[in-house]
Every structure is written in C-alpha cells, then in structure tokens.
Amino acid sequence: MISNYIINYDLSKKVDMSYLQKNYILPIEKHNLYTTVVASDDLTASYLESVYNTPIKYIIYSQKDINYALENISIKQELYDLYKKSLQMNIDNEQSDILEFFDKLIQLSIIKSSSDIHIETLRESMIIRFRIDGYLETVFRFKLELFNILSSVIKLLSSMDIAQRRIPQDGRFTKNIDGHHFDFRVSILPTITGESIVLRILENNTILNDINSLGISNDNLNTIKKSIEETSGMILVTGPTGSGKTTTLYSILEKLNSGSKKIITVEDPIEYNIENIQQVNINHEIGLTFSDILKNILRQDPDIIMIGEIRDSESLHIAMQAALTGHLVLATLHTNDSISTINRLIDLNAPPYLVASTIKTIISQRLIRKLCDTCKEKVKIGNDEYYKAIGCNICNIKGYKGREVICEVLSIDNTISSYILRQEDEAKTLKYAKSIGFKTLYEDGLSKIDKGLTTPEELYRLVSCQ
Ligand SMILES: [Zn+2]
C-alpha cells in the first residue's frame, strides 16, 4: 500500500501537478543515493532524475492507487509543511502550527465527507485514517513524534486531562468550518503503542434527518409513515452497528415533532440536538442509568419516547410497559433482520403475549453505497444489464459516493401477532408476510440495482457480512 510510506510531500512540489497526474507518479522519499517514486509503469527517468539529481527507484502500483494518493495533494502538501513546523515547535511559535495542522486536517476530512477521524499510534509511526461511506481509508502516515503534540491539542480542545495517557477519556468540542457548525465527539483509548483517538464528526445545524431524503424506497417509506401515526405501541429499528439506525430514528422524530406532542429521548450519548424535544443523556459517572431514566420518564407525561438502544431485558421490559400504556415508543435493537427480531425479544425474556401486543413495526436496515453518477459504467452480462463501479476524482477513486438506506419493514398485523403468541416458526411468518406484500432487505437491494443506484457486488457484500 502506498499509505505504508511516510510520504515526503516536498518532493511532489518540485514537479508540475499535471505531469504527476498524466503519468501516474508520486515521488515518495529521497535518499542519498536515489529517490523513490511510485508509478503505474517503469518510465524513462531522465526528467525526474534531473529534478531530484539522483537515480530514480520505481515502485509499481495501479493507476487507481496512485490517483487516490494524488487526490487533494495541495492540501496534503500544506499539511506536510505544518507537520514539519509542528515538530520543530518551540516557545516562539507556541502551538499555532499544530492548531493550524489540526484545522486543516478537519477541513480535509469534511471535504472527503468522512464520518470519523482515527488518529492512531503504531510501533514506529502514526497514521490518520478517515471513515468514508463506512470504510476506513488511510490518509496519512507521519513520524511518531507528531502524535503527542497532536494528542495534547485534541485533549485541550475537548477539555480532557492532558497529562493523562493511561486511562480512557472522552469529550467533545465544536468547530466552525466554512460557516457550518460541526460538533466533534472525541474518544481516547490507551493502547500498547500509545493511544487511539477517534473523532466522530456531527454536523449540528443542518436538517440532515428528513425521512424523505434517506433513500428509503417508496413502498417502505409509506409503510413507515403510516406506522408512526400510531399513538401507542413500539416501533423498532434494527440492524448491525453502522447501519444508520440512529439516523432513521432521528428522522422519524423530526417528522413527529409537531409541537403538539411531548417527546422525550434517552440517549447514550446525545448525537444531535433537536428543538422542542426533551433529550436526556445517560450519565454513568453519577450512576444515572438507562433504567433509572426510563422509570422516571413516565411521570413526565410523554406522548412519544425514544430509546437509543435496547441493551438488556430490564430496559426492554420498561419500554414495553410504556408502549402498552398509551405511549409510542421508538427504539433500536442490534439484530440482522425484521422477523428474527421477534425471537430476539423473546430471548430477552419478553413474554410472547407482550411482544404480540406491543410491537407494531419492525424496520431492519443497512446502508448501501451508491454508485458515483460521474463514472459509473453500464455492463451487459447475458441478458442482464447493470452498472459497474469505476472510480474518478469526484468519488475518491472509489466508484461509490454517498450511501442510502435499504430496508425491510414488517408490520405486525393480527395474523403475525397471533403467530408470535403461538411462537410459530420464522419461515411461516415470512411466507405470510410475503403474501401481503412484504419485501426482504435483499429484494429491496435488488430494486436499487435495477434502478442503477448500486451494484450487485455491493449488495452481496452487505447481505453476506451479517
Ligand atoms: Zn466517480
């Protein structure tokens, strides 16, 4: 991987950018006897030899890999400058260089639509990775010396103890970038080589939670909209970690937030602030637990209660009681599909009669990567036509840009309710649900392939890694 090198970006400044792009090359490091350059092909080296005044040693990578390394190169060059200055930090320049480095890093992460920034120590270097559309991508590798300087700045910004390197810490800070307000949730974990720092990027003043904009297909969207008109019972959003459950829940809340209902949420931690909603943060430090809050919520005369995640049978029990007594309860649960969720609830010691009478709707979802409109290409295999991911500068050379929801929505009607009560097997429930129009997650994904929005590979990846 090109990202295994600590790239000296000073070298690329000496050559015209268009030359690098046209020939797919990136100079990496200069030694006394030669200069290392990654390239897609062995080139005639005379031009570069004259630029660097040494023989050139080529290391061959694919054009795609080199394109990726060349992306946003001017920002990377600036970051490299600031990195060098930060290492020479003395009393004169105080912390301004490292602060500028950090700001620029955040700026780059936002340009690349990242959801998280990971800053980690390794044995002999440190790496910075961005999570983009669910995937981690290594953006930088630097000398280990930078880490402590950077870690101190982040701790300072997030009101953490700077001297503390041996216990986990968490905090948050806010930054204004190009007129947008961003919240950062920070977690620092001590590791065997130093620390692992993760910054979750939360944009806090945009309505990113419109339920119509999540990419949910029309039939499913209509079923969901109908289900949230209920005034009691429980709606569950399920899926593995990182499947967008919380965003869906927030978008439902946003839709329900009309001002005529009292809405209370219990979260760990609160990710977005919403107007007109009472949001309660779980606070482990003072022993304020999930079930403590839930027990007290009912005295607050709520109409709608949102629970971040059901983690144990006690919280499930309280949530079900609330759903049974005239409240609409929204919650998430970590399960693979909608029908197996029923058994999961029973495994959590919920009596079948209570599951049958309280659960109204189960949404099971994943986030599927969308093909980049700029570079996708139609391919024909047999009689089938679909699109293939290629990769261009618009999409970080990935071929995909952005993600949307694929889901299955199971409405619990009287028949399914009676199946739950009698604990019928899942196959019978599935067969019945299909007879009344239920479409599985996989079928929903297929319809996105038909529309040219994603690829078969992406769908197989999602449904096979459960
Ligand atoms: Zn593209």
For residue 348, give the CATH number of its domain: 3.40.50.300
Residue 323 is predicted with a pLDDT of 95
> How many A from CA of 449 to the centre of ligand 1?
17
Q: Is the pLDDT of residue 85 over 50?
A: yes
The CA distances from residue 136 to 236, 374, 408, in Å, are 29, 22, 27
> How many A from CA of 125 to the centre of ligand 1?
31
The CA distances from residue 461 to 240, 243, 248, 339, 447, in Å, are 14, 13, 22, 21, 16
- Mean pLDDT confidence for 66-71: 90
Which of 41, 63, 85 is where one domain is finished? 63
Name the strands in the sheet holding 169-177, side by side, starting at the edge strand that comes first in the sequence: 135-143, 125-132, 114-121, 194-203, 180-191, 169-177
Residue 10 is predicted with a pLDDT of 95
Q: Residue 269 — φ and ψ, nearest 5°?
A: -95, 175
**CA 317, 318, 320: angle at the middle one, nearest 5?**
65
- Mean pLDDT confidence for 280-309: 86
> How many A from CA of 423 to the centre of ligand 1?
48
- Mean pLDDT confidence for 369-377: 96
> How many A from CA of 15 to the centre of ligand 1?
26
Residues 6+ apart with CB under 8 A from 192: none
Residue 464 is predicted with a pLDDT of 76
Residues 131 and 250 placed together within one structural domain of the fold: no
Residues 192 and 246 placed together within one structural domain of the fold: no
Question: 291: closest CA among 280, 301, 304?
Answer: 280
> How many A from CA of 142 to the centre of ligand 1?
28
> How many A from CA of 165 to the centre of ligand 1?
41
> How many A from CA of 393 to the centre of ligand 1?
6
Kind plus residue range of the DSSP H or E element containing 388: strand 384-388
User: What is the Cβ-side half-sphere exposure of residue 200, based on CA atoms within 13 angstroms?
Assistant: 15
Residues 237 and 133 placed together within one structural domain of the fold: no
> How many A from CA of 93 to the centre of ligand 1?
41
> How many A from CA of 388 to the centre of ligand 1?
11
245 vs 259: CA distance, rounded Å: 24
> How many A from CA of 113 to the centre of ligand 1?
14
> How many A from CA of 387 to the centre of ligand 1?
12
Give the count of beta carbons closer than 10 Å to the beta carbon of residue 398: 20
- Specify whether the CB–CB gap between 17 and 73 falls below 8 A: yes
> How many A from CA of 401 to the centre of ligand 1?
7
Residues 328 and 380 placed together within one structural domain of the fold: yes
Residues 227 and 110 placed together within one structural domain of the fold: no
- Rg (Cα) of the chain, in Å, rounded? 26
Residues 52 and 140 placed together within one structural domain of the fold: no
Residues 338 and 451 placed together within one structural domain of the fold: yes
Q: Between 284 and 112, where is the model more confident?
A: 112
Residue 204 is predicted with a pLDDT of 56
> How many A from CA of 455 to the centre of ligand 1?
14
- Mean pLDDT confidence for 444-451: 96
Residues 215 and 261 placed together within one structural domain of the fold: yes
> How many A from CA of 371 to the centre of ligand 1?
8
Q: Is the pLDDT of residue 18 over 80?
A: yes
Residue 275 is predicted with a pLDDT of 82
Q: Is the pLDDT of residue 419 over 90?
A: yes
143 vs 438: CA distance, rounded Å: 54
- Specify whether the CB–CB gap between 308 and 265 falls below 8 A: yes
Which of 31, 63, 95 is where one domain is finished? 63
| pLDDT tens per residue, range 157-181 | 999 999 989 999 999 999 988 888 8
- Mean pLDDT confidence for 415-437: 96
Residue 121 is predicted with a pLDDT of 96
**Domain total in the chain:** 3
Specify the CATH number for the domain of residue 95.
3.30.450.90
Residue 437 is predicted with a pLDDT of 94
Kind plus residue range of the DSSP H or E element containing 339: helix 338-347
- Mean pLDDT confidence for 368-392: 93
> How many A from CA of 13 to the centre of ligand 1?
26
Residues 77 and 59 placed together within one structural domain of the fold: no
Residues 6+ apart with CB under 8 A from 102: 150, 153, 154, 157
Residues 252 and 180 placed together within one structural domain of the fold: no
> How many A from CA of 391 to the centre of ligand 1?
4
Residue with the two structure tokens 């599935």: 430
Residues 266 and 391 placed together within one structural domain of the fold: yes
The least confident of 35-44, 144-153, 210-219 is 35-44
Residue 205 is predicted with a pLDDT of 45
| pLDDT tens per residue, range 197-250 | 999 998 754 445 789 989 999 999 999 999 999 999 999 999 998 899 988 999
Which of 166, 184, 204 is where one domain is finished? 204
Q: Token pair of 325, please? A: 């007594």
Residue with the two structure tokens 């929005």: 453
Residues 427 and 303 placed together within one structural domain of the fold: yes
First to last CA, the chain: 28
The least confident of 23-27, 60-64, 178-182 is 178-182
> How many A from CA of 110 to the centre of ligand 1?
18
> How many A from CA of 183 to the centre of ligand 1?
29
The percentage of residues in the chain with a pLDDT greater than 70, rounded to a whole number, is 97
> How many A from CA of 413 to the centre of ligand 1?
43
Residues 6+ apart with CB under 8 A from 69: 2, 3, 7, 26, 38
> How many A from CA of 389 to the centre of ligand 1?
8
When pLDDT is cut at 50, 70 and 90, the band that residue 30 belongs to is: very high
Task: Tell me the residue range of the domain where 140 lies.
Answer: 72-204
- Specify whether the CB–CB gap between 312 and 289 falls below 8 A: no
> How many A from CA of 39 to the centre of ligand 1?
22
Residue 170 is predicted with a pLDDT of 92
Q: Is the pLDDT of residue 92 over 80?
A: no
| pLDDT tens per residue, range 256-285 | 998 889 999 998 878 777 888 899 988 877
The CA distances from residue 10 to 28, 50, 444, in Å, are 9, 16, 49
> How many A from CA of 368 to the centre of ligand 1?
16
The least confident of 41-45, 80-84, 436-440 is 41-45
Q: Between 323 and 269, where is the model more confident?
A: 323
Residue 267 is predicted with a pLDDT of 86
Question: 70: closest CA among 122, 130, 139, 124?
Answer: 139
> How many A from CA of 370 to the centre of ligand 1?
10
Average pLDDT score over the chain: 91
> How many A from CA of 84 to the centre of ligand 1?
33
When pLDDT is cut at 50, 70 and 90, the band that residue 349 belongs to is: very high
- Specify whether the CB–CB gap between 183 and 172 falls below 8 A: yes
> How many A from CA of 395 to the centre of ligand 1?
4
